[in-house]
Amino acid sequence: MSEGHDGEHVHPESGEELSVYARRAQAIEALMVEKGVCSTSEVDQMMNMVESRSPSDGAKVVAHAWSDPEFKARLLADPRSALTEIGYSLPDTTPHLAVVENTEQVHHMVVCTLCSCYPRALLGRPPDWYKSFAYRSRAVVDPRGVMREFGLELADSVEVQVLDSTADLRYLVLPRRPAGTENLSEAELAKLVSRDCMIGVTDPHVPEGVAAS
Amino acid sequence: MPKPHDMGGEPNDEPIDQSDHQKMDWEMRADALHQVLGQKGIRRTDEMRRAMESLDPDLYRSLSYYERWTAALELLMVEKGYLTSDEIDRKVTQLDQGAN
Interface pTM (ipTM) of the complex? 0.93
A116 part of the active site:
yes
Per-residue pLDDT at B75 exceeds 60: yes
Per-residue pLDDT at A190 exceeds 60: yes
Cα-Cα-Cα-Cα dihedral sign, residues A31, A37, A42, A47 = negative
- Residue B18 counted as domain residue: no
Per-residue pLDDT at A66 exceeds 80: yes
- Residue B48 counted as domain residue: yes
What is the least distance, in Å, from the CA of B51 to any CA of chain A? 12
- Residue B92 counted as domain residue: yes
Q: How far is Cα of residue A205 from the mean position of the Cα atoms in its chain?
A: 17
Structural contact between residues A124 and A54, judged by C-beta atoms closer than 8 angstroms = yes
Q: What angle do CA A109, B49, B78 make, to 5 degrees?
A: 160
CB-nearest partner of B17 from A4, A26, A132: A132
CB-nearest partner of A7 from B21, B41, B71: B21
Residue of B nearest to A129 (CA): B18
Per-residue pLDDT at A16 exceeds 80: no
DSSP character at residue A93: T
Structural contact between residues A22 and B26, judged by C-beta atoms closer than 8 angstroms = yes
What is the least distance, in Å, from the CA of A159 to any CA of chain B? 19
Give A169's strand partners.
A96
pLDDT at A212: 67
Q: Which residue has the higher pLDDT, A8 or A110?
A: A110
Tens digit of each residue's pLDDT (9 = 90 or more) over A114-132: 989 999 999 999 999 999 9
- Residue B83 counted as domain residue: yes
A168 and B45 within 8 Å at the Cβ level: the answer is: yes
Residue of A nearest to B6 (CA): A114
The stretches of B12-64 forming alpha helices (DSSP H) are: 25-39, 45-53, 57-62
A194 part of the active site:
no
Q: How confident is the model at residue B100 (pLDDT cuts 50, 70, 90)?
A: low
Please state which of the ranges A24-38, A88-102, A173-187 shows the lowest mean pLDDT.
A88-102
Residue of B nearest to A49 (CA): B32
Average pLDDT over residues A144-158: 96
pLDDT at B45: 87
**CA–CA distance from B60 to each of A37, A114, B28, B54 (Å)?**
28, 12, 20, 9
Q: Say how far apart CA A187 and CA A185 lie, in whole Å.
A: 5
Query: Domain limits at B51?
Result: 26-99
Q: How confident is the model at residue A11 (pLDDT cuts 50, 70, 90)?
A: very low
CB-nearest partner of B12 from A26, A29, A138: A138
- Residue B7 counted as domain residue: no
Please state which of the ranges A73-77, A90-94, A158-162, B55-59 shows the lowest mean pLDDT.
A90-94
Share above pLDDT 70 across residues of chain A, in percent, rounded to a whole number: 91
pLDDT at B99: 67
- Residue B47 counted as domain residue: yes
A5 and B17 within 8 Å at the Cβ level: the answer is: yes
Give all domains of chain A, ordered by start, each with its CATH number: 20-51 (no CATH), 54-199 (3.90.330.10)
For the domain that residue B61 is a member of, what is the CATH number?
A: 1.10.472.20
Which residues of chain A does B37 touch, with a Cβ-Cβ cutoff of 8 Å? 32, 37-38
A115 part of the active site:
yes
Domain tally, chain B: 1
What does residue B64 show for φ and ψ, rounded to 5 degrees? -75, 170
Structural contact between residues A161 and A172, judged by C-beta atoms closer than 8 angstroms = no
What is the least distance, in Å, from the CA of A190 to any CA of chain B? 22
Give A172's strand partners.
A99
